[in-house]
Amino acid sequence: MNPKLQRLINKHLQEPPSDAYAELLAAISKEFDAMGKLADENRHLKTIQSVAKAGSWEARPDGNIKTNENYWSDELQRMFGVEEIDIPLTYETYLSFMHPDDRQPYEAAVSQALASTSHFDIEFRMTNNKGEQKVLRDIGEVIRDQETGLPVTVLGIAVDITDLRKTESDLWEATRQLRIMMENVEEVFFSVDRVHNKILLMSPGSKKLYGYDSDAFINNSRLWMDIIVEEDKSIVYASELQLAQGERVTNEYRIHHGDGGIRWIEARITPTLDMDGRLVRIDGLTSDITQRKEAELALLVTNEQLKKSNEELDRFVYSVSHDLRAPLASVSGLLSYMMADNADHEFTADLQLMKRSIDKLDVFILDILDYSRNARMEISAGQIDFADLLDDVRNNLKFMSSNKGAVDIRTRVKLTRPFVSDKSRVYIILSNLLSNAIRYHNPNAGDSYAEMAVYTVSGGVMLEVKDNGIGIEPAYQEKIFQMFFRVSDKSAGSGMGLYLVQETVQKLRGTIQLNSYPGEGTLFSIFLPDLRHLKQ
């Protein structure tokens, strides 16, 4: 009620007017109170309809029901998108927004309610005036004259259930996809109520994996435990403590398959604890890992056979080292004695050729031994003193240098931090590269030299072996690391040296690079990582 009018009425009620006048003012005051209450209720109703996405309507069935002007609430008009346009709010208008396939069922439901049932509840699809597609649930009630029983009016409420139906559709599709997945994957999904020891879910894949269908497990909650091989049941029992503490568990064990065979199973289980920390449910996934286990067993057998073969190879290598090199050393020594004690130059030259062949065979045997050890032995990492190591390499090849001619062997070490790698393998790399530099020196060079250098780089060290020898022709540079490759039959060496160098560098997870120019010399650059910083 208008506050000013209310104060005026209160003033006249307090004055001593006539009785009739006082009754009139009291009646007016009561009417205004009722109107205010009705306005509040109407505002609340609009709010409820807006929140609930539900609009109300009222239609008169007398005369032509399709063209009679009806009542549509504000929310209903908003749902149909006609709140801001001038359009007749009739039953015919209502029907015009419906999907063509839904109009006839809707009209049939309304006609039946008018004729007998007095009630209808039906869903329909519609496209409103703004082009929005919706799904509405329409609930109607026919109000009849108490004396004649004829319809007086029809009241209804239309609820927007578009989001609900979309959610249901999405859920149905997700369920369908899940069902397809569960029916086709080889793994088995399961859920168990641990409070009542009842299997809640067992996917269809159980028939293939276990040899029993899901109903067999659901009807017999002990079946999954009964089919576990007796010796492996302790694995499952041992995991109960972890599950009770809420920890995930992965077990591998054998089962008696329904076809009578034995299968290996991997079970991954996730526990669920209640508010009191009790284990109330487990969910898991089981997989058939029989092939993997058989492969692991086959690999174990192969490894044992390989171990035996390696032991036999070790014995063979020992035999080669001692039983073959010892006679060669004797023959080489005898040839040296004969050359020293014979003045026949032609005969001595022949003996020299024989000795070179013997020495070449001995180098070849040493290369084979180095290759065998490099391939089979584990890496022995330790801190390397490069000053001492390079001196050892130089001193061991000094005699070779004097035989081949004057080759100045130089060393250069520049390290800023300790370096860890396999000392014996680094020795093999440097020794082979330096011996090549000496063997293929350029006799026409005024000052023949071979230099070994090592310096610190990011992540490790760089080894460089540089010479001013005869160099390598470009056509051969891509082939020199191949096993037994030699430029010609007259080439010195066994053809194993550079192959062994490359294999050893790879064993130490390093890289090697060649730069060579015929007549100018060769540079081998080897990067070796510090083994302390590499992940195993």
- Least confidently predicted of 100-109, 208-217, 311-320, 464-473: 311-320
Report the candidate in 87, 155, 169, 84 with the shortest Cα–Cα distance to residue 125.
169
The structure tokens 């005869």 sit at 470
Burial bucket for residue 369 (CB in 10 Å: 0-12, 13-18, 19+) = middle
The helix/strand/coil state of 416 is coil
The pLDDT assigned to 490 comes to 46
DSSP assignment string, 72-104: E-HHHHHHHT-TTS----BHHHHHHTB-HHHHH
CA 315 to each of CA 57, 362, 364: distance values in angstroms, whole numbers, following the listed order: 101, 19, 19
Neighbours of 415 (CB within 10 A): 14
**Quick check: 160 and 97 in contact, CB under 8 A?**
no
Does the pTM surpass 0.85? The reply is: no
CA distance 237 to 250: 13
Give the rounded distance of the alpha carbon of 228 from its chain centre.
31
pLDDT over 90 at 528, yes or no: yes
**Quick check: 155 and 140 in contact, CB under 8 A?**
yes
CA atoms within 13 A on the CB side of 374: 25
CA distance 6 to 36: 12
For the segment 465-487, the average pLDDT, to the nearest whole number, is 82
For the segment 190-202, the average pLDDT, to the nearest whole number, is 89
For the segment 249-274, the average pLDDT, to the nearest whole number, is 94
Buried b (16+ CB within 10 A) or exposed e, 489-513: eeeebbbbbbbbbbbbbeebebebe
The pLDDT assigned to 476 comes to 85
Report the candidate in 447, 359, 362, 454 with the shortest Cα–Cα distance to residue 403.
359
Q: What is the pLDDT of residues 108-145, one digit of tens each?
A: 999 999 999 999 999 999 999 999 999 999 999 999 98
Neighbours of 407 (CB within 10 A): 26
DSSP assignment string, 426-475: HHHHHHHHHHHHHHT--TTSSS-EEEEEEEEETTEEEEEEEE-SS---GG
CATH topology of domain 185-288: Beta-Lactamase (3.30.450)
Phi, psi of 530 (to 5 degrees): -70, 120
pLDDT over 50 at 210, yes or no: yes
CA distance 299 to 307: 12
- Extract the tokens encoding 299: 């690999």
Q: Where are the alpha helices (DSSP H) in 189-287?
A: 206-210, 214-219, 223-226, 233-238, 240-244
SS (H, E, C) 156-182: EEEEECHHHHHHHHHHHHHHHHHHHHH
- Least confidently predicted of 95-99, 169-173, 449-453: 169-173
> Residue 39 — very low, low, confident or very high, per pLDDT cuts 50/70/90?
low
Q: What is the pLDDT of residues 263-312, one digit of tens each?
A: 999 999 999 999 999 999 999 999 999 999 999 989 888 888 888 877 77
CA distance 74 to 71: 10
CA atoms within 13 A on the CB side of 321: 12
> Residue 488 — very low, low, confident or very high, per pLDDT cuts 50/70/90?
very low
The pLDDT assigned to 355 comes to 73
DSSP secondary structure letter of residue 321: I
CA distance 397 to 48: 100
CA distance 202 to 212: 11
pLDDT over 70 at 41, yes or no: no
The helix/strand/coil state of 251 is strand
The helix/strand/coil state of 134 is strand
- Extract the tokens encoding 345: 């130059």
pLDDT over 70 at 256, yes or no: yes
CA distance 295 to 289: 10
**Quick check: 358 and 332 in contact, CB under 8 A?**
yes
CA distance 236 to 225: 9
Give the rounded distance of the alpha carbon of 424 from its chain centre.
40
For the segment 473-491, the average pLDDT, to the nearest whole number, is 72
Neighbouring-strand partners of residue 188: 286
pLDDT over 80 at 195, yes or no: yes
CA distance 375 to 149: 104
**The pairing of beta strand 408-414 with beta strand 449-457:** parallel
Q: Does domain 379-533 have CATH number 3.40.50.960?
A: no
Higher pLDDT, 532 or 355: 532
The pLDDT assigned to 125 comes to 95
